[in-house]
Amino acid sequence: MKSITGAALWLVRLAYLAFALFPLFWLIRISLTPDDLLYSEGTTIWPSSLTLANFAYVIEESPFPVFFGNTVIVSLGTAAAVTVLAAGIGYAFSRFEFAGKRTLMVFLVITQLFPLVMVITPLYQLLAPIGLVNTRIGLIVVFTAFNLPFAAFLMHSFYEGIPRELEQAAMIDGCTRFQALIRIILPLMLPGIGATLGFVFTAAWSELLFSLMLITSETKKTFAVGLLSFVGKSGVDWGQMMAAATLALIPPAIFFTFIQKYLVGGLTAGAVKA
């Protein structure tokens, strides 16, 4: 009886694994398949020979390295800005009682209800006169605002897992609150900071519609916009397209793999207090 449930459990685990990984496996499989085999061999699980030609083309001859660089700049910029600002908001929510605290928290929750498609055009008109349209900085500003509310709650949840006595002791020893935060609390917050950085980096890396609307010049395009216009061209080359897609996948996948266990840990810490 016990071995049957054990086997059934493994079956379920493998089913989850297959569902999660098959699409990604297929992406990589096609990107490594020589063009002619794609049509002659059809959709066999593994092609009879492999090639790196698609990757070579994407890296050496296509504009994707530029798009890749732009997306790295925008995503890292956004992740850094959001994490710093969320560290401030989360700290204030966790350690202070003040007038308007509830209102502000509710305000941040409500921002999650906004259909972001609605703000695209007004935002364009607000950013254009100050020269932030068609710039990477403009994208960073916009993505920072969009990702900040959730990141603030995430950081709040991590702060709740750190005992208040720590900074109180430091303040008794003569630190100001700000010094205590920087020297005592933030080093303990590293898992939370990592989780927030990774979460926001991944989100910024994914963004498509605002980049589509706000970026017009070829040299500032992000990967999402570049890939979509590549797909839209007639006479698609499956191998090259999927090679480009595979490259787009690498940074967020690495980032996320490192932070996912902190994400669970941080939410657990917050849940215990709540």
202 binds other proteins (CB under 8 A): yes
Sign, CA torsion 156/157/160/161: negative
Give me the DSSP letters along 31-85: HTS-HHHHHHT-S-SS-SS---HHHHHHHHTSSHHHHHHHHHHHHHHHHHHHHHH
Nearest residue (CB) to other proteins, 37 versus 59: 37
Provide the minimum distance between the beta carbon of 130 and other proteins in the complex, in angstroms, as a whole number: 11
- Nearest Cα neighbor of 223 from 79, 62, 81, 77 is 62
Q: Which part of the chain contacts other proteins (CB under 8 A), choosing from 50-58, 62-70, 164-172, 224-232?
A: 224-232
Q: Which residues inside 8-47 make contact with other proteins, applying CB under 8 A?
A: 9, 12-13, 16-17, 19-21, 23-24, 26-27, 30, 38, 43-45
Nearest residue (CB) to other proteins, 9 versus 52: 9
Q: Which residues inside 79-118 make contact with other proteins, applying CB under 8 A?
A: 85-86, 88-89, 91-93, 95-99, 101, 104, 107-108, 110-118
Count Cβ neighbours within 10 Å for each residue of 205-229 and write b for 16 or more, e otherwise: bebeebbbbbbeeeebbbbbbbbee
Q: Which part of the chain contacts other proteins (CB under 8 A), choosing from 49-57, 165-173, 186-194, 221-229?
A: 221-229
Q: Which residues inside 124-183 make contact with other proteins, applying CB under 8 A?
A: 125-126, 141-142, 144-146, 148-149, 152, 177
- What is the CB neighbour count within 10 angstroms for residue 268? 11
Judge whether 18 and 45 are in contact, CB under 8 Å. no
- What is the CB neighbour count within 10 angstroms for residue 169? 13
53 binds other proteins (CB under 8 A): no
Cα–Cα distance measured from residue 91 to residue 244, given in angstroms and rounded to the nearest whole number:
40
215 binds other proteins (CB under 8 A): no
Q: How many residues bind other proteins (CB under 8 A)?
A: 92
Nearest residue (CB) to other proteins, 80 versus 213: 213
Provide the minimum distance between the beta carbon of 157 and other proteins in the complex, in angstroms, as a whole number: 9
Q: Which of 119, 175, 186, 188 binds other proteins (CB under 8 A)?
A: 119
